[in-house]
Structures are given as structure tokens and as C-alpha cells.
Amino acid sequence: MGDREGRISPGAEGVHGHSRAQGHDLSCRPDARAKSVHPFDPGALISARGLGMSRNGRDLLNDVDLDIFEREIVTLIGPNGAGKTTLVRVLLGLEKPDSGEVRRCKDLRVGYVPQRFDIDSVIPMTVARFLMLGGHEPPERVTAILSEVDASYTRDQQIAELSGGELQRIVLACALLRTPNLLVLDEPVQGVDYTGEAELYNLIGRLRDTHGFGVLLVSHDLHIVMAKSDRVICLNRHVCCSGMPETVAQHPAYVRLFDAEAARAFAVYRHHHDHSHDIAGHAHPVGEGDAEDTSAQGGSRV
């Protein structure tokens, strides 16, 4: 784990993969970009280096390095406008970055659960038909996948009549049908209640354990992540920090506040930044003493 951390991110040492020769504050300024020194990882499902993208003069991504391996769950967090969805789209090949490169392993199959999947109610289609659209899936496989995501009862319903949560399960089933080795979920628990969130996290964990694929989960929550996350990456146009979460199951105060059962699904991620961001997203270095404080504040200062 520690090996991977050092490779992808600056976080543990508070530097963005740049050379630290010039002193601690040089690397925090967006204009002091140095080439990433780390080579692509051939063992990774997806390996990205130096991703950069800007639109209308605003930086969306700034020198982002990332690796995702099989069997690991990576949670990507960051404030609104941090570039999380942009990064996902670049990794998936839906958008081209202005700089940097993404290398994908040879037989990469991605199952993608997008953030907004307003499947048009104008098309008449049952859930079963929707799932069989992609390839040449036998009906038995569709039934099996539906039961894996706890949505068997929706099989013959029209997709136009599904609730938001049901639709999400169906899109997840669709992603699973491709037997992916990488599952990408973009903010799957946005707008979901507490127990729904725990259930979904448990489901994703179960699926990962059963199928062994890698998972990239984008979350809008800056502090609470899926307990089974192997790694958390904090993104605000560039990688601010990364590390492992702490489970809350051991914290009696948390368990007392919330349901013990559900608490097992969550973990807390503690940020460790050597810089802060203003509203516009520009990074500013802070002194060593301030580093701990930034994680306690909400909003754009991550």
C-alpha cells in the first residue's frame, strides 16, 4: 500500500510529484509545473501521468497522476468543480486531455455507472431488454446479474417507470454485464439517504470481493468514504493528498450516533494538505502549522 501511495501521489509528502529541490512552496503554485518523474505502471489497469486540461482559461485538471489496480477500491473525493468527473471522462476516453497521457492495460473492460443517467422515458423498453441491448447476453445471465444487484423484481418493468434508486441498480447491472475488470461509479450516492448509502457500499464491496475487479468510486463527500476503500485520493484540479481511510466501526461515539450495522460501511478519511485552495480553485501554500486545520474546514478549502 505504501508503495502505491508514493507512486501516485504527492499526498504523503505534501508535494505534487514534482521535484522538491527548490523548497516546499514552489510546487504548490499551478504555474510551477514540472514534468512528472514517475513512469507509467504496467501492472495497473489504468495508468495516467501528467493529465492536464483547461477550458475558457480555467484549469480543470492540473498535472494529475493516477494508477488503479485490480481488486482495489479507489475513492476519488473533492469539492464541487474539482475536476472529478472530468478526470473520470478522460480516464474512460470520453474526453481528450490537453496534456498528459492515459495508458490502459490490453484487455481493459470498463463498466461505467455515470452520474446522471436520465434514461429517456420516451423509449419503450423493459429492464430486461435494456440489459440485453449491449451484447448478446443470454436471458439467464441477465436474471443472474439482476439478482446480484438486488433488483430482480424490476425485470419486466418499463424503464420509464423505475425510481431513481432502481434505475441506478439497473445501470450498475448493465455495467456488470460486460464482466468489467474496472468498475467506475461517478457519485453513486449523491442524493441517497444514509441507509441507502450503506447498502450501496456493501453491495459494491461484495461485488468487488466476488468478481475481483478494480473500482474507481467518485464521491462528493469530503470526509466519509466507503469503509472498504483501499485508497482515497483527494482531488482539486490536482491531487491534493491521498492515503487510507480509518474505519469508524471502532469509534464508539460514531456507533452511538448512527446505526452500528451501517457504520461498518463507512470510514473517515483525514486529509493532510500543505496548501489550501481559494474559491477559484487556485492553490496557496500554508505553513506547516496550518496543515491540520484545513481538513477541519468545509467548502472549497479542502
Partner 1 sequence: MVRALIAGLGLAIIAAPLGCFVVWQRMAYFGETVAQAGLIGVALGLALQMNLTLGVMLIAIVIACLLLWFSRQKAVPLDSILGLLHHAALASGVIAISMIGGPPVDLIGFLFGDVFAITREDLVWIFAGGCIVLAVVAWLWQPLLRLAVHEELAAAEGVDRERVRTVFIILLAVAIAVAMKIVGILLVMAFLVVPAVAARPLAGTPERMVVLTASIAAGSVLAGLWLSATVDSPGGPSIVIVMSAVAGLSLTLAALKRRH
Q: Does 119 bind partner 1 (CB under 8 A)?
A: yes
Among 3, 120, 140, 288, binds partner 1 (CB under 8 A): 120
Among 103, 129, 155, 282, binds partner 1 (CB under 8 A): 129
Q: Does 3 bind partner 1 (CB under 8 A)?
A: no
Cell output for 207: 461485488
Q: Does 213 bind partner 1 (CB under 8 A)?
A: no
What's the per-residue H, E or C state across the chain? CHHHHHHHCCHHHCCCCCCCCCCCCHHHCCCCCCCCCCCCCCCCCEEEEEEEEEECCEEEEEEEEEEECCCCEEEEECCCCCCHHHHHHHHHCCCCCCEEEEEECCCCCEEEECCCCCCCCCCCCEHHHHHHCCCCCCHHHHHHHHHHCCCHHHCCCEHHHCCHHHHHHHHHHHHHHCCCCEEEEECCCCCCCHHHHHHHHHHHHHHHHHHCCEEEEEECCCCEEECCCCEEEEEECEEEEEECCEECCCCHHHHHHCCHHHHCCEEECCCCCCEEECCCCCEEECCHHHHHHHCCCCCCCC
Q: Does 298 bind partner 1 (CB under 8 A)?
A: no
Q: Does 125 bind partner 1 (CB under 8 A)?
A: yes
Q: Does 178 bind partner 1 (CB under 8 A)?
A: yes
Q: Does 174 bind partner 1 (CB under 8 A)?
A: yes
If the CB atoms of residues 170 and 222 are measured against partner 1, the closer one turns out to be 170
Q: Does 207 bind partner 1 (CB under 8 A)?
A: no
Among 23, 39, 124, 289, binds partner 1 (CB under 8 A): 124
Residues of this chain, 261-280, that bind partner 1 according to CB under 8 A: none
Q: Does 287 bind partner 1 (CB under 8 A)?
A: no
Among 32, 58, 101, 134, binds partner 1 (CB under 8 A): 134
If the CB atoms of residues 51 and 131 are measured against partner 1, the closer one turns out to be 131
The number of residues making up the chain comes to: 302
Residues of this chain, 137-156, that bind partner 1 according to CB under 8 A: none
| Shortest separation between residue 264's beta carbon and partner 1, angstroms | 32
Residues of this chain, 72-111, that bind partner 1 according to CB under 8 A: 92-94, 110
If the CB atoms of residues 124 and 298 are measured against partner 1, the closer one turns out to be 124
Burial 151-178 (b: 16+ CB within 10 A, else e): beebbeeebeebeeebbbbbbbbbbbbe
Rounded alpha-carbon distances, angstroms, from residue 117 to 49, 127, 157, 164: 29, 14, 17, 9
If the CB atoms of residues 43 and 134 are measured against partner 1, the closer one turns out to be 134
Looking at 35-43, 121-129, 245-253, 271-279, which segment touches partner 1 (CB under 8 A)? 121-129
| Shortest separation between residue 133's beta carbon and partner 1, angstroms | 5
- What are the residues binding partner 1 (CB under 8 A)? 92-94, 110, 112, 114, 117, 119-120, 122-126, 129-130, 133-134, 158, 171, 174, 178
